Amino acid sequence: MKNQIRGMRIIVTDTYKDMSKKAATIVASQVNLKPNSILGLATGGTPVGMYKELVEMYNNDEVDFSEVKTFNLDEYYPIERTNDQSYFYYMNDNLFKHVNVLEENINIPNGKAEDIEKESYEYDKNIYNSGGIDLQVLGIGTNGHIGFNEPDIAFESGTHKVKLDSETIEANARFFESIDDVPTEAISMGMKTIMQSKKIVLLANGEGKAKIIEKMLFGEISPNVPASILQLHPHVIVILDREAAKYIEEKIN
Ligand code: GLP
């Protein structure tokens, strides 16, 4: 099959909107096929359009989230849920307040947890006891991070506290008033947690992601580029806009 590298299927779309629509359709199909799906959700600029499309699909009665359970990838640490830069706030703003996911079915790492080890252990246990993530949505950092698993992360890690790379802090400063306001730590699902998801959909748009997308798909599998481990996952769909696919389009056609 074309556009297929091992377990990864690559879809290149013309625009950010097309990428977002494709991703929303995949998430909605997952929920329609299995109404009590366990969804792994991502934040960042990339999936905003996908959430918009999902809200629209919900409003058109094309998808129902009433039995869905969600687990978010990560959260800054420390951060209050009421802080408009928290991922808790983001998820509410972009998705949860617009659709019918039940509050008790929403899981986001607690950015104020006193005992992070306990929080992390329980987060993983909760995912496991729910039957595991059916579909995990991912973005990718310019340094190849997924969730907040920065380069040189141990591939065998579960949910844990991480120190953010200076590249990530710089990239995320655009969402804050000043770079000094960007938290330097976070709680993130680990690589093991992510790799145990049954299916993964990774989104990337814009030229800024083109180089890392090439490395992720065609580079060596290495903790240096955390996303490269996805080459070993049996069921990944990578959805890109043309700009993010700049260096790979020739190789996959
Ligand atoms: C963030 C998040 C990731 C996200 C990535 C890319 O810091 N922790 O989950 O995928 O960086 O972000 P963006 O989509 O804004 O480029």
Active site residue 129: no
User: How far is residue 191's CA from residue 84's CA, in Å, rounded to a whole number?
Assistant: 27
User: How far is residue 122's CA from residue 201's CA, in Å, rounded to a whole number?
Assistant: 25
Residue of the nearest CA to atom 5 in ligand 1?
Answer: 141
Ligand 1 probe mutation, 46, 79, 174, most atoms within 8 A of CB: 46
pLDDT at 253: 82
pLDDT at 189: 98
Burial class, 178, CB count within 10 angstroms (exposed 0-12 / middle 13-18 / buried 19+):
exposed
Answer yes or no: is the C-beta of 43 below 6 A from any ligand 1 atom: yes
Distance 43 CA to ligand 1 centre (A): 6
Distance 34 CA to ligand 1 centre (A): 27
- Count of structural domains, the chain: 1
Which ligand 1 atom sits nearest the alpha carbon of residue 209?
16
User: How far is residue 60's CA from residue 56's CA, in Å, rounded to a whole number?
Assistant: 6
pLDDT at 2: 76
**Model pTM greater than 0.75?**
yes
Which ligand 1 atom sits nearest the alpha carbon of residue 138?
10
Which ligand 1 atom sits nearest the alpha carbon of residue 172?
7
Active site residue 36: no
Active site residue 94: no
- Measuring CA to CA, which residue among 26, 57, 66 is closest to residue 199? 26
**CB crowding 79-103: b at 16 or more within 10 Å, else e:** beeeeebbbbbbbeebbbebbebee
pLDDT at 95: 98
Mean pLDDT, contiguous 10-residue spans, the chain (253 residues):
89 98 98 98 98 98 98 97 97 98 98 97 98 98 97 94 96 95 97 97 98 98 97 98 96 88
Active site residue 250: no
User: How far is residue 75's CA from residue 54's CA, in Å, rounded to a whole number?
Assistant: 22
Neighbours of 4 (CB within 10 A): 10
pLDDT at 45: 97
Give the CATH number for residue 248: 3.40.50.1360
Residue numbers of the domain that contains 146: 2-252
